[in-house]
Amino acid sequence: MKLIDFRIFSVFAMVFPVAAALAQSDITDYIEPAVVDEFNLGVSDDERTNAQPQRGGTLRVRTPADVGDFNPVLQNSAFDREVSLTMFETVATMDDETQEYYPSLAWSWETADLLKLKDGEVQAGIALEHGNEEDPASTVVFVPNARVHTFTKSDVEELSVDEGTLTLREQWGGNTYTGKIEEGHHVYRVNTAHDPVLQENALRITIADLDTWKDRRGSDEFFRPFIKKGCALWFHIRPGVTWHDGHPFTGEDYLFAYDTLMNVDVEAQGLRSFIEDVTMAELQNDGSTVHFRARRPYFKQFEAVAGIIIPLPKHVFEPEKFGGDTKAFADAFNEHPFSRKPIGTGPYKFAKWEPGTRTIVERYDDYWASKRPAGTVPLWRPEQPYMDRISYEVIIEKSVSLKELEKGSVDVDPDVEPAQFNLAQTNTDDFVSRFVRAKYFHMLYTYIGINNARPIFQDRETRRALAMLIPRERINRDILNGMSIPITGPAWSRGPSYDKSVPQMEFDPRAAKRMLRRAGWLDRDGDGVIEKEINGEVVPFEIEYLIHTARDYHQKIADIIKEEIEQAGIKLTIRKLEFNVFAEKARDKEFDMIRFAWGQQVDPDFAQIWHSRQIANKGDNFVSFSNVRADELIDGIREEFDPAKRWEMGREIHRILADEQPVIFLEGFYAPVFYDARLRGVTFKPSQYPIRYYEWWWADPKKRAGESG
């Protein structure tokens, strides 16, 4: 999960089946496929169908805030992430539309379950039958050494579904695997638990034969039989990949990134929360396989290990110099020059950073995927990325950004404010002939964060009263130009974990004032500001509300909120901060109220933001929300592999948050974008990840040649 305004993933039969599609748990039902050049009315169906992408030129992207840190482990904002994801990549990549992971820096991987017998022996394999946890005599069928292997389709030389065999190309060893074969959009999976040879050694034991383990809920009553689904993973590092400085990329770099994230003194508590249960990582004897083991099952275990751990160049940081002193290493890592001059493995490499002005990345000509034959890397063409370079132009003021777009100084503004989108100026024939007006539903939500650790906010009725003082309809009408969708909870409003039955907190100042009086807030001295006795002291209701400079309309919304809240006898001071300072205030929990926006996932894990474990050590639970039942549900979701049960628990979390109001939920909304009409290959995908500019190209030969205009 990525913070938009701040920060920064089966059951098997015992016989060979016919080919089956990889189960996506109907998650794709909640995603609308993107259409290339959908909003560009100047692109004909024929041109779209027979597109001939060409290399060349520069894409100048407007960004409303400067990069605070290029190190993907330490980043605080979506603006940082937007730039860094052109330079860095992970061992596996997710297809935004299908939610399927396919190989990237790892050319293949394997997953397995862990089983531990009462004599202490631990084995990796696949559990075909898990038994009934309530019945000690029930049977467990476990196939030791079985694994689920994943390969890109293009790496497979021969496939026989009827015989259940898959043979790799000679380049990848030419090995043959036997088992249950599942076909995905981009990959094949082979579950070798169905290999008759491996099944000869299958264990048929009872629940009573197994050791037990304590799940996340922690209480002694939650000891469970020791079968841990998906807790063993192996990643085979792709050969021939180089860092942007020419140094070979190896499994050591991947392992180093894991070790760095797990270092509690590295400022990455939010990311660390996803891999907190991974307790073992090692480079195996072949030198190219990295093996992980987790102490607890997690429905996003693969996503966390493959997508959260972004490999880092070990040779740059030289951890061996610190002689095992993890605190000294962390201090050096947090301040390393790498944060200002990064080295990645991605399609673009760092070229220049002009503080407060721009960041430029250039095509990396030695990029591994561009050297692969056409059709062998999913969703990638060898001639990509098409642009020679991308220049992220820092333009804070919206009025200035529009002028720069119109005079040709920037080519795309992905951060258009709703008011700009509806200006007469941006709806003229001349403007529409030169620029595309795109609008897509963003996978994010906004809310006003309330610092629940502050004494004035610890009463539930006080927080609910504040929520009733926010005029959402007026804000949507007057500031957001009808582009917002009111929300009541943290899950994506179009996804399965969002409870549509939860009612809105209606704008009702009179009811809010009554609620405040019941909570003990009274104007005792007649100065117009209500007070309350807290811990033996009479405290005035005074709030400092933090917003940032990256979006102009935040000030307009804050002015409306101030007007309504102060009519209830609450003094509200608006404090506007430069974005990176604002982000640090959020991480350090130095605020009363603050405007947040967070990215979302279709199938969410709520732990990063809402679990009480994430309050300390600069965790991403900025608002210090703590609720025993919510923690139990969050932990339960992490270990639940049945999506229907998981989504129901998510809806209960939604109801708890709506009732407690630790934050004031505002809206999801449509994201307006302006871009040059000569650009092609443009999509806005249903994902929380940044726009993938490496797919864009110039249709105009002059622009490809680097000419202005």
Q: What is the DSSP string of 465-489?
A: HHHTT--HHHHHHHTSTT-EEE-SS
As beta bridge partners, residue 676 has: 435
Cβ-contact 540, 531 below 8 angstroms: yes
pLDDT digits (tens, 9 = 90+) for 414-464: 999 888 998 999 999 999 999 999 998 888 889 999 999 999 999 999 999
pLDDT of residue 686: 65
pLDDT, tens only, 5-43: 333 322 222 232 233 333 344 677 888 888 899 999 999
CA distances from 88 to 19, 349, 678 (A): 35, 9, 28
Cβ 547 vs Cβ 576: under 8 Å? yes
> What's the CA gap between 142 and 193, in Å, rounded?
8
Burial of 333 (0-12, 13-18, 19+ CB in 10 A): buried
Q: Helix crossing, 643-660 with 460-467: angle to 10°?
A: 90
- How far apart CA 630 and CA 619 sit, in angstroms, is 17
- Architecture of the CATH domain 444-669: Roll (3.10)
Two domains, one topology: 37-88+336-438+675-704 and 444-669: no
Helices 509-518, 460-467: crossing angle, 10 deg rounding:
170
Other CB atoms within a 10 A radius of the CB of residue 312 amount to 26
Q: How confident is the model at residue 709 (pLDDT cuts 50, 70, 90)?
A: low
Residue 292, H or E segment: strand 289-294
Q: At what angle do helices 643-660 and 628-638 cross, to 10 degrees?
A: 160
Position of tokens 């099952």?
A: 297
The model's confidence at residue 687, banded by pLDDT at 50, 70 and 90, is low
Among 98, 47, 52, 13, residue whose Cα is nearest residue 381: 52
Which of 423, 417, 512, 442 shows the shortest CA–CA distance to 667?
A: 442
pLDDT at 377 over 90: yes
219 pLDDT tier (thresholds 50, 70, 90): low
pLDDT value at position 218? 55
pLDDT at 339 over 90: yes
Q: Which two tokens stand for residue 103?
A: 């190989």
User: For residue range 483-497, what is the model confidence (pLDDT) as tens digits?
Assistant: 888 999 999 898 999
pLDDT at 509: 96
DSSP type of residue 688:
S
CATH superfamily of 37-88+336-438+675-704: Periplasmic binding protein-like II (3.40.190.10)
Contact 300, 605 (CB under 8 A): yes
Domain spans of the chain, in order of start = 37-88+336-438+675-704, 444-669
Q: Is 221 exposed, middle or buried (0-12, 13-18, 19+ CB in 10 A)?
A: exposed
